[in-house]
Amino acid sequence: MSVTRQKDSTKSGLIALCGNPNCGKTTIFNAITGLSQQVGNYPGVTVDKVTGPFVAGDCDSCRYTLIDVPGTYSLSAFTPDEYIAASALFGEVKGEAAPDAIICVVDATNIERGLYLLFQIMQIGCPVVVALNMIDIVERHGDNIDADLLSKKLGGIPVVPVVGSRGRGIDRLKQETIGVVNRPFKPLLQRYDDVTESILADMSEWSNGHPRNRAQYLRVLFDVEGPAEKHFLDTEGSDAMEAVREGRERIREKFGLLSVAETMALTSRASEIHEAVVSSTAEPRQSTSKKVDKFLLHPILGPIVLIIMMTLVFQSIFSWSEPFMRLIEDLFGSIATLVGSGLAEGPLRSLLTDGVIGGVGSVLVFLPQIIILFMFISLLEDSGYMPRAAFLVDRMFRWCGLSGKSFIPMLSSFACAVPGIMATRTIEDRKLRFITIMVAPLMTCSARLPVYSIMIAAFIPYKSYLGLFNLQGLVLTLLYLLGIVVAVIVSFIAKKTLLKTEKGTFMMEMPSYKVPTVRSVAIRVLNRARHFVVRAGTVILAITSIIWALSYYPRSSTTTEQFESARAEITTAYESRLGQVSDEAARESLGLEYQASLTELENEHIGSTIRNSYLGRIGRAIAPVFRPLGWDWKITVAVLASFPAREVIIATLGTIYNLGADVDEESASLVDKMRMATWDDGPLIGKQVFTPSVALSIMIFFALCCQCGATLVTIKQETASWFYPLITFSYMTIIAYLGAMVAYQVFSRMGI
């Protein structure tokens, strides 16, 4: 693929930022672009594509776009997701331009490892600038890196010492980058052995109108059965590919393994440069990070610290966010009331108050949890503790298809699956990440608690065991455990089937500890929050609007006229009685009685509307399907209405039972209505609907079913496909149905 670059008088261009994981690349990206970032996905894969504009110096016309290329240790890749870093640098991504320059971030505390990737990038032939990050840590250790000598050894590539977390050297880095864009410059190419060089020369001759740079040819040659080989075969044909295979055999004859031919040349050169440019002026001493790791990675103390840390994160998401979530709920409730008071009764008012405002509120109510979660994740990542946490729990998770990095997303999902799923971005392995995403909704989130609370309080008796445990608490605990056990089983099955993974060795770099900066953490948190609101919020709003329409229509003019007539009769009777009473206390009592009568009539009207709506009709139609679970049509309608958000079931039941939608899990009137509810059709007509076995059936269904539009939309956003949310919704619904049916059939036969 040819690489062309055009420059205009405005001096704009595309700059790619790349580097190893944990080298501080994202911190530098944030320092350069600030909050002006856009987050998306590369075409056909689930890898984040993050871009942001920046201006160099005082030149307003010198506007460039910086793209944050996924972190990688090498351009070698064997899956489409892994190949994105190389593709972005090669200019092979569909619809994306080739970069005009590349900033390669190198960890100053581990130059050799960073140079390995740099040497591969230099083969592209694109102008390169080296950002020598974390130079302050090197200086604190008493070491010195000769940046000028390093630049000379690299053939004149600009080397800029920076401290990304402090903004040190960032302005010079931008100036040097703009400089290499606007003047002809080609990096010094790393030479390989004679056999490899001969094969590379032959490969360029085989290219029939598809010229590539050396880096692309190297990937075709060394990455057997990788994406680069597939692309080469598609464009050049089988004859050229056969010649490549013959060339590989020649390399194997000399080195034994293909990888040796590449790694030997690069590592030896990296070691040589390291020895030349790094010097020490202090006695070797144990680093602070290693001293701290003696405690944080200790077999006993390490897990204890981790548990304390995760408890703090969990409590913060679950408890600290509650006041802010209630504030958002109250705010949107007030907005809905204000809007409703200014509009006449009708579909427009209902759409705005219940559909649009309610839908927006249902999205924004998650913001406090997302902000708090990503604040902690950013702090843990920037401080260097995140890899330690993953290391400590990996052995416990790996056998069932998860990884150590699944721990925080899973734990966060106990508060809410939405931020938990977003937190899976710390998992580099695509299959492990998707498994974690698919089982995260099984964790018992806070939205399930209202359902558990009202069902347990109403139908599970309070029985004490050994003076320490009670039946209600045990049932709640078992519901939490149920989600965890099913998640482990599903993970294990997914690992063996849909997302089959190979058993491998867990390797993770332990970066040095650092003090996170407020600016870096704030930028990351605000970008994630904005990303969630803009992308997920639009789809969630559409879902809630659809549910509103199904529950509002059709409207019967006859029914409305009947209720209007009843309202007029109540008003006439009130006015007549009011004219006969002169005592102020009696008049006030009549007013309260009048308002209560109107509220009761309005609730009855709303209940009648939803019972006769499309949603109510659907519920009646499919009620026989849920009868094996012990549910009547009213429970079925309430469950259907709760699919966008689980907690809606309480308000829906209140509406169906003519109590209004303002009831909650502590509503005594709703509990009484549920206890007195009887079957109004079928063979059980006249018998009690809600029993302990029915309550258990409902709770188990809610424990295992994915009744959350926000969660499904977030899964779609994180996987860049509707396939995974559909699979998640389907398997969870099937498991929930079977689990609820078994529970009802077993417990009802036991007389519970």
Read off the pLDDT of residues 308-346 as tens digits, 9 standing for 90 and up.
777 677 667 656 777 887 888 788 878 888 888 887 777
DSSP H helices, 79-159, are 80-90, 111-122, 135-140, 147-153
Buried b (16+ CB within 10 A) or exposed e, 188-218: eebebeeebeebbeebeebbeeeebbbbbbb
Q: Does position 372 have pLDDT exceeding 90, yes or no?
A: no
Q: Does position 95 have pLDDT exceeding 80, yes or no?
A: no
Q: Does position 132 have pLDDT exceeding 90, yes or no?
A: yes
Q: Does position 4 have pLDDT exceeding 50, yes or no?
A: no
How many angstroms separate the CA atoms of 594 and 573, rounded? 9
Lowest mean pLDDT among 362-366, 650-654, 658-662, 701-705: 658-662
* 33, 172: one domain: yes
For residue 729, tell me if it sits in a domain: no
Tokens of 396: 């416990």
* 193, 86: one domain: yes
Residue type, 53: P
To the nearest whole percent, how much of the chain has pLDDT over 70? 82
Q: Which of 601, 710, 722 is nearest to 645 (CA)?
A: 710
How many angstroms separate the CA atoms of 482 and 709, rounded? 22
Selected residue with higher pLDDT from 184 and 629: 629
pLDDT at 209 (0 to 100): 60
Lowest mean pLDDT among 374-383, 497-506, 676-685: 497-506
Paired residues of 752 in beta bridges: none
| Mean pLDDT, range 433-438, rounded to an integer | 89
How many angstroms separate the CA atoms of 380 and 428, rounded? 16
* 231, 345: one domain: no
How many angstroms separate the CA atoms of 413 and 441, rounded? 7
| pLDDT band with cut points at 50, 70 and 90 for residue 5 | very low
Respond yes or no on whether the N-terminal peptide bond of residue 184 is cis (omega within 30° of 0). Answer: no
How many angstroms separate the CA atoms of 373 and 381, rounded? 12
For residue 460, tell me if it sits in a domain: no
* DSSP state at residue 165: T
pLDDT at 505 (0 to 100): 44
| Mean pLDDT, range 487-497, rounded to an integer | 86
Q: What is the 3-state secondary structure (H, E, C) of 546-579?
A: HHHHHHHCCCCHHHHHHHHHHHHHHHHHHHHHHH
- Given 234, 251, 285, which residue is the final one in a domain? 285
Selected residue with higher pLDDT from 524 and 475: 475
How many angstroms separate the CA atoms of 740 and 648, rounded? 19
pLDDT at 746 (0 to 100): 93
Q: Please, which residues have CB within 8 angstroms of residue 35's CB and are 6 or more apart in sequence?
A: 523, 526, 527
Q: Please, which residues have CB within 8 angstroms of residue 572's CB and are 6 or more apart in sequence?
A: none
Q: Does position 250 have pLDDT exceeding 50, yes or no?
A: yes
Lowest mean pLDDT among 14-28, 77-91, 350-364: 350-364
Tokens of 463: 């029985």
Tokens of 706: 């994915």
pLDDT at 160 (0 to 100): 94
pLDDT at 668 (0 to 100): 64
Selected residue with higher pLDDT from 401 and 239: 239
* 90, 113: one domain: yes
Q: Give the Cα-Cα-Cα angle 501, 503, 507 (nearest 5 degrees).
A: 110
* 571, 538: one domain: no
CA-CA-CA-CA torsion sign (396, 400, 404, 407): negative
How many angstroms separate the CA atoms of 255 and 248, rounded? 10
Pair type for strands 63-68 and 13-19: parallel
Most confident of 157-166, 356-365, 526-535: 157-166
pLDDT at 1 (0 to 100): 39
To the nearest whole percent, how much of the chain has pLDDT over 90? 12
Q: Which of 505, 503, 527, 525 is nearest to 516 (CA)?
A: 525
Contact status, residue 631 vs residue 619, Cβ threshold 8 Å: no
**CATH code for the domain of 151:** 3.40.50.300
Most confident of 386-390, 402-406, 566-570: 566-570
pLDDT at 413 (0 to 100): 80
Number of domains, the chain:
3
* 44, 66: one domain: yes
pLDDT at 544 (0 to 100): 65
| Rg, the chain, Cα only | 32
Contact status, residue 66 vs residue 74, Cβ threshold 8 Å: no
- Given 285, 310, 327, which residue is the final one in a domain? 285
Mean pLDDT of the chain: 79
* 236, 353: one domain: no
For residue 568, tell me if it sits in a domain: yes
Read off the pLDDT of residues 30-44 as tens digits, 9 standing for 90 and up.
888 876 766 665 555
Q: Give the Cα-Cα-Cα angle 409, 413, 416 (nearest 5 degrees).
A: 130
* 106, 184: one domain: yes
Q: Which of 506, 567, 513, 546 is nearest to 643 (CA)?
A: 546
* 159, 186: one domain: yes
CA-CA-CA-CA torsion sign (440, 444, 446, 452): positive
Pair type for strands 469-470 and 464-465: antiparallel
| Backbone φ, ψ for residue 690 (5° rounding) | -90, 120
* 121, 155: one domain: yes
* 276, 372: one domain: no
CA atoms within 13 A on the CB side of 97: 18
pLDDT at 158 (0 to 100): 93
Q: How far is CA 280 from the centre of its chain?
A: 43
For residue 383, tell me if it sits in a domain: yes
Q: Which of 559, 560, 597 is nearest to 575 (CA)?
A: 597
Q: Does position 739 have pLDDT exceeding 50, yes or no?
A: yes
Read off the pLDDT of residues 151-205 as tens digits, 9 standing for 90 and up.
999 988 999 999 988 888 998 999 898 888 877 666 666 678 888 888 888 887 7
For residue 173, tell me if it sits in a domain: yes
Sheet strands side by side (includes 101-107): 38-41, 48-55, 63-68, 13-19, 101-107, 128-133, 159-161
Buried b (16+ CB within 10 A) or exposed e, 544-572: bbebbbbbbeeeeeeeeeebeeeeeebee
For residue 487, tell me if it sits in a domain: no
CA atoms within 13 A on the CB side of 284: 1
Burial class (CB in 10 A: 0-12, 13-18, 19+), 139: middle
Pair type for strands 128-133 and 159-161: parallel
pLDDT at 744 (0 to 100): 93
pLDDT at 47 (0 to 100): 65
Which residue range(s) make up the domain with 56? 1-285
pLDDT at 629 (0 to 100): 93
For residue 153, tell me if it sits in a domain: yes
- Given 512, 543, 574, which residue is the final one in a domain? 543
* 517, 392: one domain: yes
Contact status, residue 105 vs residue 18, Cβ threshold 8 Å: yes
Q: Does position 516 have pLDDT exceeding 60, yes or no?
A: yes
Reduced to 3 states, what is the DSSP secondary structure of residue 617?
Answer: helix
Reduced to 3 states, what is the DSSP secondary structure of residue 191?
Answer: coil
pLDDT at 2 (0 to 100): 38
For residue 293, tell me if it sits in a domain: no
Lowest mean pLDDT among 155-159, 411-415, 740-744: 411-415
